[in-house]
Amino acid sequence: MVIELERVAMSYGGSELFADISLKVQAGSFHFLTGPSGSGKTTFLRLCYGALLPTAGQVRLFGQDVRDLGRDGVAHVRRRVGVVHQDVQFLDHLSLADNVALPLTVSGRDTPDQMDNLDELLNWVGLRPRAAAFPAQLSGGERQRAALARAVIMSPEVVLADEPTGNIDWDMSQRLLTLLVELNRMGTTILVATHDMNLIRAAKSQVQARVLRISGRRLQLAGADL
C-alpha cells in the first residue's frame, strides 16, 4: 500500500472535521475524492502526503507511520509524492520552464539529463512553445498543466491533485484528465479531489477508478450511478 489511513480523525479548534476514516490506496490505483465544500477534501489530501498529522488514528505512507518519520523522513517521503494544489502558485520572476524545473533545482538534480527530460515533459503537457513565458502570461489551463508538470518532474509514485479542473473550461478539463489517465497507465497512483461529477463520469469510461465521498464526517464509497 502506498497510503493507509486507519481510524483517522481530524479536528480544528475543537470542531471535528471528520472521524473514523480508514482507507488503503494500492500502488497503481486511481481514486476520486468528492464531497461538499468544507467537508475536508483538502485536509484529507494534506494528510496523505504528511503535511498534517491526524488528531487521532494512523496515517502510513509507503508503509511508514508519519508520526515516526520526523522532519527528514517526511521530506524524503514527499519526494515520492507529487502534489497539484488547488491554488496554483508560481514564482513570478521565473519562466514557465524554470518554475516547472524548480523541484529539480532545489534538490540539486538539475543535471543535463534531467533538463532534457524537462523539455520532453513540457511537450507532453503541450507547453513546449510556452516554455519562456512568465506566470502572468499564462491562461488558467496553461497554469494547471504547468502545475501538473511540476508535480511529476521528480517521477513520483503518487500524484495528489486538489480540484485541478476547478478554474478551467471543459475542454481543458478533458485534456488534463487525459494526462492523469496516461500517468496512471504508466503505473502512477492518482488521487484527485473534485466536485466535478462530469469529470468523474468521463474518467470512468477511460480508467478503472474508485470514487470516494466525504459525507457526514465519514468516508464512503460512492454509488455506481456516478
CB 168 within 8 A of CB 141: yes
Last residue of a domain, one of 110, 132, 149: 149
Q: Where are the alpha helices (DSSP H) in the chain?
A: 41-48, 66-78, 96-106, 112-124, 140-152, 170-185, 197-204
Which helix (H) or strand (E) segment holds residue 162: the answer is: strand 158-162
Evaluate whether residue 136 is within a structural domain. yes
Span 176-199, pLDDT tens digits = 999 999 999 999 999 999 999 999
Tell whether 177 and 71 lie within a shared domain: yes
Evaluate whether residue 85 is within a structural domain. no
Tell me the whole-structure pTM to 2 decimals.
0.92
**pLDDT for res 184:** 96
Tell whether 118 and 177 lie within a shared domain: no
| For residue 224, pLDDT beyond 70 | no
Range of the domain at 138: 92-149
Quick one: which of 122, 123, 125, 116 has its CA closest to 182? Answer: 125
> How many separate domains does the chain show?
2
Residue found under cell 477508478: 209
Tell whether 76 and 165 lie within a shared domain: yes
**pLDDT for res 223:** 58
As a whole number, the mean pLDDT across the chain is 91
Tell whether 144 and 167 lie within a shared domain: no
